Amino acid sequence: MIGSKVIDILVFLSVVETGSFVAAGKSFGLSRSTAGKAVARLEEAYGARLLNRTTRALDLTEEGRSLYEHGLAIRDAIEAADSSIKSDQGVPRGTLRVTAPDALGRRLLLPTVQKYLETWPETQIELSLSDRVDNIIEKGFDLAIRIGVNSPDQSFVTRTLLRDETMLCAAPSYFETRATPLNIEQLSRHDLLQFATRSARQGWHLQDEDGAWVRAQGRVRLRLDSAEALREAAIQGLGIVLLPRLLIGPDFSERRLQQVLPHVSSGRIPIVALYPHKRLLEPKVRRFIDMLSSDLRRLPDQ
């Protein structure tokens, strides 16, 4: 019975990370209905709802978030046991090609890169820092680290390293001539800084005190394709921005930025490792992912 529950928990993790019963089922060779039944069995076993289902999204309940965090530990233990006995487990060697967002790479990846190179002297790393989501196979990357990007198809594997809180913030100077917004509706009177590429534009869905999700309205006069550029624009007082806490934590302590609408939730965003599907993952890739995951989970406020 324990074994079947573990499988259900692993399916539940996949549902949360892909945001889809269909995608989660496919990753286990199951149908959508079978994946749904796995979550239903868990909800019946625990006597609690784990997911709030809407036509647009799947949101974790408090009980669901608790199970998700414990489920990550279960999956990590399985992966550790699996990798410890696989024949390809060995000393990492050769060049590891990694792509990551600019801000995340500069602030959080470089310490792991330094430790990785010191630990495994027979390796080299080529690190591309860009917020563009390139085709990692065509570009020859072994690994992509992304914020809020899930696997585009079943030829890729996605491992969630961390789910980070996103926060609305702005520079103190921005409010020198403007009133601080007191609710989501008052954002419509402010300048919003949002991420955009040629193919997609960011929109903000915020949860008010009543638990309802609302699409924020505001003047978007500046769009940027770089999280680091968005951060810099906010520090310069150009508007209100929504970014992961990991990228802006020091800016709060040093008072370059201040939180806006602290009572409003903007959800948590996954930081993921994305790599081409392989039956046996090379040691150089696995070791880097494991090290980065461990480093991220040791960061303050996580």
Least Cα distance to 228 among 247, 242, 200, 245 occurs for 247
Pull the structure tokens for residue 86: 């696989």
CATH 3.40.190.290 location in the chain: 165-268
The answer to whether the Cα torsion of 109, 115, 120, 122 is positive or negative is: positive
Mean pLDDT of residues grouped by 10 in the chain (302 residues)? 82 87 86 90 91 77 89 80 59 92 87 95 92 67 82 70 92 95 93 83 82 86 90 96 90 94 88 77 90 86 50
Cα-to-chain-centroid distance, residue 180:
29
Q: What is the pLDDT of residue 149?
A: 65
Q: What is the pLDDT of residue 147?
A: 85
DSSP letters along 181-219, please?
A: P-SGGGGGGSEEEEEB-SS-B---EEE-TTS-EEE---E
Q: What is the pLDDT of residue 302?
A: 46
Least Cα distance to 249 among 145, 161, 167 occurs for 167
Torsion of CA 297, 50, 264, 197, to 10 degrees: 70
Architecture category of domain 2-85 in CATH: Orthogonal Bundle (1.10)
Q: What is the pLDDT of residue 87?
A: 45
pTM higher than 0.75: no
CATH 1.10.10.10 location in the chain: 2-85
Q: What is the pLDDT of residue 251?
A: 93
Identify the CATH class of 94-161+270-297: alpha beta
- For residue 135, the tally of other CB atoms under 10 A from its CB is 10
Q: What is the pLDDT of residue 89?
A: 55
Q: What is the pLDDT of residue 73?
A: 84
CATH 1.10.510.10 fits 165-268, yes or no: no
* Residues 6+ away with beta carbon under 8 Å from 66: none
